[in-house]
A and B are shown apart, each in its own frame.
Chain A
Amino acid sequence: MEVGTGLYLMGLALAVGLGLPLAVIGAGLGQGRAVAGAMEGMARQPEMAGRIQTGMIIGLAFIESLVLFSFVIFFLLQGRLPTVSGQ
């Protein structure tokens, strides 16, 4: 195996292993902030709770979709990893 290919495969493995967790960390922080803000808003104005909740869910879906993009990339890259069986 060439050195370059080995480097490439190492980078690929790191990307497959770390890409999604990194995205999850960022999105988790973002979702936490969003929910905290929404809860505070609901506590201050309980009569607006329904609309705030709708907005919160939409916002969470947007943040989550960023993780899911990286999830798709994760699967694309995972398909590129060579199998290790029988070596």
Chain B
Amino acid sequence: MDGQLNALWVWTQTGIGANIPPPVFSVLSGIAALALLLVALAATRNMQRRPGWLQNLAEITYEFFDNLAVSVVGEHGRKYVPLAGTIFLFILFSNLMGLIPPGIAPTASLNTTIALALIVIVYVQYEGIRARGLGGYLKHFARWGEVPVLLSPLLFVIEIVSELAKPVSLSIRLYANMFGKEQVTMALITALAMPLFKATFIPLPIQFPVLLLGVLVAGVQAFVFSILTLIYLALATEHHEEHHGEHAHAH
């Protein structure tokens, strides 16, 4: 117990996860994925017309993402439900893992979040090319026909940069939220709760408010990641340009 706490203490003090070897996060996210898969299989095994609570929960989740995808992307957004939903559930499970004492959230490592962001952004480009064709895809970057011709090259560069900023902001937002939560929790434990316990033998959970906040953050960040995925997909595949101002530069 003390050894583990010491390792975590070193981790919080030296920052950015260098002291917890990255493979640990890999194993942790594997556990999160397995837990998610088991719950998913339990929900869909032996499905009935009159659903039990778990099947009901799964159906509510599906309906929620179905409505979200249709309202954000449009009628052709239904096919993005599995991606957005899986991202949400995986991130939610990962984040919640950090709240169970021996665990650390796998999303508190940039390796995990960058992998997710890369998948999202590559898929967004793929869908963009598929929806508009390669020429249309490049024209969309240059805002061809929307702005004066001379401005197009400049906009092209700006759009490329903003497109590259998307995965960076996606991954760092999630990572920093979870990492920050872990840091504050560990700081409160090691700097306040532990000395108090050693001096007076009162196990006062000073970090508890942060854990409550952590539950909220876990849900909100998972939701933000998946809705941003949908918004990026909507921007890349929308057919009419007039809605553009609505979500433009959403990062």
A residues in contact (CB < 8 Å) with B: 54, 57-58, 61-62, 64-65, 68-69, 71-72, 75-76, 78-79
Contacts and interface: CB of A to CB of B under 8 A. Distances in A.
A56 to B, nearest CB: 11
A68 B251 contact: no
Nearest to B173: A65
A61 B221 contact: yes
Interface of B: 14-16, 169, 172-173, 175-177, 180, 220-221, 223-224, 227-228, 250-251
7 contacts: A62-B251, A68-B172, A68-B176, A68-B180, A69-B176, A71-B176, A71-B180
A75 B15 contact: yes
Contacts of B172: 65, 68-69, 72
A68 B15 contact: no
Given A61-B173, A65-B176, A72-B172, A79 B224 contact: no
Interface class of chain B by DSSP: helix
A63 B131 CA distance: 31
Contacts of B228: 58
A70 to B, nearest CB: 9
B176 A72 contact: yes
A79 B16 contact: yes
A77 to B, nearest CB: 9
A10 B21 CA distance: 32
A61 B16 CA distance: 21
Given A75-B15, A76-B15, A58 B224 contact: yes
Given A61-B221, A62-B251, A68-B180, A78 B173 contact: no
A61 B180 contact: no
Given A57-B224, A61-B221, A62-B251, A78 B176 contact: no
A76 B224 CA distance: 25
Contact of B224 (A61, A69, A75, A78): A61
Nearest to A74: B15
Contacts of A54: 227
Given A68-B172, A69-B172, A75 B223 contact: no
